[in-house]
Structure 1
Amino acid sequence: MGLLRDAGVVYKPVEQIDLGPCSNESYFKADKAPRMAGFLLKIFAWFLESRIIGALLLYIVKKNNQVHKLVSNATLEEPPMFVPLHPITDCIKTDLNQQEVKQIDSDASPPERVQQAIKCIPVTSEKSLDDLKSSCFWRWTIADYSRAYSTGEITPLRVAEHFINAVRESCSPPLPMSFFINSDAEDILRQATESTLRYERGNPISALDGVLIAIKDEIDCYPYPTTGGTKWLHKFRPCTGDACCVMRLRSCGAIL
């Protein structure tokens, strides 16, 4: 263990933790890094690059960093979240036969290309909404959303409302994580309402219709500012329209 190493932390599986509104338990403790800029940042970098003081300063910073503690000392007693969605068969291990290769028509419209791509995905066992709810850390796929929307088990509007509530909770104490730097609840609800009406009429645009997709802040997605991980880029380069990939997602009915 070493004299200067902190004691490890054993995190319980998430299903054993009460994360309800009346609970004081938390899974991970949020940590805020110090913010520095200008002359203070230059002084900090100068100290950090020095041989003796830099090593000591780096040790202190790492010691107070929750992410470093988690990676170095924590023990997670649960299976990994990310596992293969489709079984690896013998035909995948070897070279695919030529007849199994499907080419998507590049001249087709974005919705048509999405439908062609969906047909290329291996068919998995269909699960009902109740089965998905009972699965811990189940990651819904596009096919799951599309199937649930088409059968009426859920609607894009209902999913959007849950998403907006989750974003608000993630920005509130005691875990102010702020996973999304910008989100327009009114615009999201508008897109979800239009998608819900399309499903009610039985004419969704594509399998992406009503599926929520987050856009990185270095890709133009109007009316959100393109910040590129900075606080100043959008001031010198304002976003005036959608990037090509965003335009195609919108044309497929995705909620952005």
Structure 2
Amino acid sequence: MGKKQIMLPANEVDLTAVKYVPEKIEAPHLTGLWFKLFVKVMEAPVIGSLIASHLKEKNGITEILKNTVIPEVPMFIPQFPLQEPEPGVVCLEEDGKPEERVALALKCLPHYDPTCRWSSDSGEPFQFRYWKIRDYGYAYRSKLTTPSMVAEHFISAMEVFNSKQQSAPLLISFDPEEVRRQAAASTQRFEEGIFIC
């Protein structure tokens, strides 16, 4: 490896005293068919890289790039303005305790009001809604319903659905007795105070 050449910073260079001396570059002068052939050879996987490295070394490009130190600061440094904290955004610390992180995450969830799930404006109790795990867990713990009652509602709904002309046996296949057995075991767990969810 050659000796490093340290250049002057651009603001210290006296442009009136500097004369531009063009470098003598040695490269093949090709046109036409010979140029096409040279391009094909240069694009070849092994031969092309060997020819390119030979031409770079012959013309001093490698020496200029590797052995020259240019003491210039970058012309562009990306700087981003400080962002205002967004409302409703909570930042979790990665090094924080898991309990604190869960507590912060729970604050981000919408307020859960179970009464809206169990009352309706039309006066009909238990109208159809898309229940989530949270709704079922609340209903089971507060003894508003049991897994056995939910299973019976599901089985009766499937019997009504299957009695229609266009049943959907491919969509839902289940054994009613197995569903009842699992629901009874789940109901017993909730009565004993063993909550899974």
TM-score, length-normalised on structure 2? Answer: 0.42
- TM-score for both structures, normalised by structure 1: 0.33
